[in-house]
Homo-oligomer: A and B are copies of this chain.
Amino acid sequence: MSLEYSQSLARNSRAASSELAPIASGRKNAWLQRVASLLRTNSSLIVTANEKDMDAAAAAGLSSAMLDRLKLTSDRIETLAKAVQHIISLPDPVGEVIEGQRRPNGLFVSRVRVPLGVVFFIYESRPNVTIDAAALCVKSGNAVILRGGSEAIHSNRALQQVIQEALESEGLPKNAVQLVDSIDRSIVGELLSMGSLIDVTIPRGGRSLIERVTREATMPVIKHFDGICHVYVDAASDEKMAVDITVNSKCHRPGVCNAAETLLIHRAAVPHLLPRLAAELQSHGVELRCCPASLAMISGGKPVTDEDYGTEHMDLIMSVRIVDNIEQAIEHIRRFGSSHTDAIVTDCVSAAMKFEAEVDSAAVMINASTRFNDGGELGMGAEIGISTDRFHARGPCGMRELTSYKFVVRGVGQIRS
């Protein structure tokens, strides 16, 4: 029963993606504008649907953080409508000529961006993501199958009605956006087996979900694993900068992937800087877990373990290690880091160049907070996820990362000899 449903979802998406791919951005933007308008005019209906989800989630004992992510208000719906309108202003990646040249035989060869095709997107119980993901996928010419968290099912149904009404009124294929309208978990496994119909799966959520998806998927997966991020304070640096960047990287939003987990500090900077850094971090409520040399200097510090160095705490906890030189800092990052985001604070040009060349992370920050590894901050406009892979997409995934390319070759009858 569910297999038939899964197959129809995947086949419908495949067909819709062929129709959607050649549609120019004017029509896709008109659809986005319509979605924004309908969100506004249907705001109270959506809030009512969301209240059903909120009541059930409260009764089920969800945490206040989870409830907050689930909640939609008229203000939040207005913010969502504005986010959709922002996507109108972003360039359509489809049709972009990535490069082109004329060959010695006169052929014009170009590499042109095309949609990936069909995206299967699995995400948390955050109904705003339903709209974001639909907007990013359709604007980049992809059909999408949305599988939101089960707690958001009523909200997602209401949002999907808005999406559908807009698709219909703008004449876009109605299966460009499909919602898995069931909380039956076997559907996920079935869709993951349909690698010939679905081009990529993007799972967002806990580690166990991502691991399951990676194991079962028969198509490529854009994965988002841990962010074990470092701030390395070099021998010579601006003191205020070192403090600001360390505190911002750790404390601005400790529960996100680009928050720093470990402070590495060059021993030459320790005497004048470590006491100040420790005091600032502690005044922000950070628990410091210290290497033996730093433990002796920091009152209230606890001894650090290798396990700490390799853990994404997602909390106000920071490991501290004094290093002899930049090489030791880089070695530490290689051993314990997750190649997500790593920062150096330095006044020394050659140290900055060395760090940039040898630290193999999705984002390397020179005198800037780790918190800037984010699609919006890096100038991608909006992101559908952050990849911890190296293949295809690395770091924040915007619309361009939802595309492939094809070669277009124009001739006047050339043949190969």
* A contacts, CB < 8 Å to B: 18, 21-22, 101, 103, 107, 109, 114, 116-117, 199-200, 220, 238, 240-241, 244-245, 247-248, 252, 334, 352, 356-358, 360-369, 371-373, 377-379, 389-392, 394-395, 404-416
Pairwise interchain contact B248-A406, C-beta atoms closer than 8 A: no
Complex-state Cα separation, A367 to B415, whole angstroms: 9
A1 to chain B, nearest CB (A): 28
Are A391 and B415 in touch, CB under 8 angstroms?
no
Chain B residue nearest to A219 (CB atoms) is B391
Complex: chain B residue closest to A416, CB-CB? B371
Residue numbers in B under 8 Å from A408 (CB-CB): 356, 363-364, 366
Q: B21 near A360 (CB under 8 angstroms)? A: yes
CB–CB A392/B394 < 8 A: no
Check B377 against A103 for contact (C-beta < 8 Å). yes
Q: How far is the CB of A82 from chain B (nearest CB, A)?
A: 18
How many copies of this chain sit in the oligomeric assembly? 2
Partner of A360 from the list B109, B378, B406, B412 (CB cut-off 8 Å) is: B406
Residue of B nearest to A252 (CB): B416
The CA of A411 and the CA of B240, in the complex, are separated in Å by 14
Interface centre among A101, A116, A252, A357 (most CB of B within 10 A): A357
Most B CB within 10 A of own CB, among A116, A247, A361, A408:
A408
Beta-carbon nearest neighbor of A411 in chain B: B368
CB pair A357–B22 under 8 Å, yes or no, is yes
Q: Which residues of B contact A248 (CB under 8 A)?
A: 415-416
- Min Cβ gap A123→B in Å is 20
Residue of B nearest to A392 (CB): B392
Residues of B within 8 A of A416 (CB): 248, 252, 369, 371-372, 377
A-B contact pairs, 23 of them (CB 8 A): A18-B334, A21-B360, A109-B378, A109-B379, A116-B391, A117-B390, A241-B413, A252-B415, A352-B410, A360-B406, A363-B406, A363-B407, A363-B409, A364-B407, A367-B410, A368-B415, A378-B407, A391-B391, A391-B404, A392-B392, A394-B404, A395-B406, A395-B407
Q: Which chain B residues lie closer than 8 Å to A247 at the CB level? A: 415
For the complex, what is the distance from the CA of A111 to the CA of B254, rounded to whole Å?
A: 26
Across the interface, which residues of B come within 8 angstroms of A377, CB to CB? 103, 107, 416
Q: Find out whether the CB atom of B378 lies under 8 angstroms from the CB atom of A409.
A: yes
- Chain B residues with Cβ below 8 Å from A244 are 413, 415
Q: A372 to chain B: which residues have CB within 8 Å? A: 107, 409, 411, 414, 416
Q: By the criterion CB–CB under 8 Å, are B404 and A390 in contact?
A: yes
Q: Which residue of B lies closest to A378 (CB)?
A: B109
A361 CA to B407 CA in the complex, in Å?
8
**A245 to B361, alpha carbons, bound, how many Å?**
47
Using CB atoms, name the residue of chain B closest to A101: B379
